[in-house]
Amino acid sequence: MERNTQFVGQSTAFLDSVERASRAAPMGRPVLVIGERGTGKELIAERLHQLSRRWQEPFITLNCAALPETLIEAELFGHEQGAFTGATKARAGRFEEADKGTLFLDELATLSMGAQERLLRAVEYGEVTRIGSSRPVKVDVRIVAATNEDLPRMADEGRFRADLLDRLSFEVITLPPLRVREGDIRVLSDYFGRRMAAELHWDAWPGFSEAAMAGLEDYQWPGNVRELRNVIERAVYRWGDWEEPIAHVVFDPFDSPWKPALLPRAETAKADAAPNPAASARNLDQVSDLKAAVDAHEKAILEQALARHRFNQRQTAKALGLSYDQLRHAMKKHGLSERNGD
């Protein structure tokens, strides 16, 4: 989601997270924002900055995963001319750029141990030293960091400095995934849909059919709000008829009957080989329990169909020519309901 996108949602879990960020904003202490991809971690970081006393000062962002380990320290702390190959002139780092303001470190868990050690010193003493220099520079920076990793577990395993984690975790805001934000899928779908309809200059907003909305609410949204936005905008522009409710939603834009099939080498060899009727007959000859064999085949079909449709039960039922209740009955029969998150 791009910056300056307003917060949209009404679920208690979502509003509690926003309220916690609002209360922490004036404190000026470090904050960790935890959440799955697409849950809006950068939006929370911006809120922490905008509601703080630093709101008129710089808000500097660095994605720690976007740079190789050899450059991340130079990017954070700056470097002097000639400090390393390619350093043709001195450059201030993100800490100096964010002086008096807020530095947002996204994907914090990807920092190397060396960068973590220097970050700890910057947080503890409020000073940074450019690479190639021996003179520290005083900075006044508020740190907001984000990750989708379990930092306490990483610290226990020795992959993240426990003392740095202690310094950064004055407040920890954990954002709820979209799948647990009760009622927000409908609200967000309407919001993104109306916005896309306006971009397409539709005369009215028809909304979604009940079947389409049921599919949206059944989906697990591994990409959370970012994924929802893409799905909604794609559905609106492909529909192209503002007089009828949108009845078709595509969750996977790569899904196509003509997409290339990447088979394991052994399966590729099988696919290239000529059919062997005698071998098939031998396999059938080995069946000693017809009911068990049929049940196993039915279960395999269900598992494959569910995986193909990303465990969306309504789409799976439609693909198999079953009603929703028939699919649920078959899943229960084969013990698949619990496995697939129901």
pTM value > 0.85: no
Q: Cα(first)–Cα(last) distance of the chain, in Å? A: 29
Q: Taking 80 as the threshold, does the pLDDT of residue 22 lie above it?
A: yes
142-147, strands of its sheet edge to edge: 59-63, 102-106, 142-147, 31-34, 171-174
Q: Taking 80 as the threshold, does the pLDDT of residue 259 lie above it?
A: no
Q: Where are the alpha helices (DSSP H) in the chain?
A: 12-24, 41-50, 69-77, 94-97, 113-125, 151-156, 162-168, 184-199, 210-218, 224-239, 265-272, 277-285, 290-308, 313-319, 324-333
- Domains, the chain, ranges and CATH? 12-81+91-176 (3.40.50.300), 181-271 (1.10.8.60), 286-342 (1.10.10.60)
pLDDT, tens only, 157-181 = 999 999 999 999 999 999 999 999 9
Judge contact between 255 and 216, C-beta under 8 A. Answer: no
CB atoms within 10 A of CB 210: 10
User: What six digits make up the tokens of 75?
Assistant: 């990017």
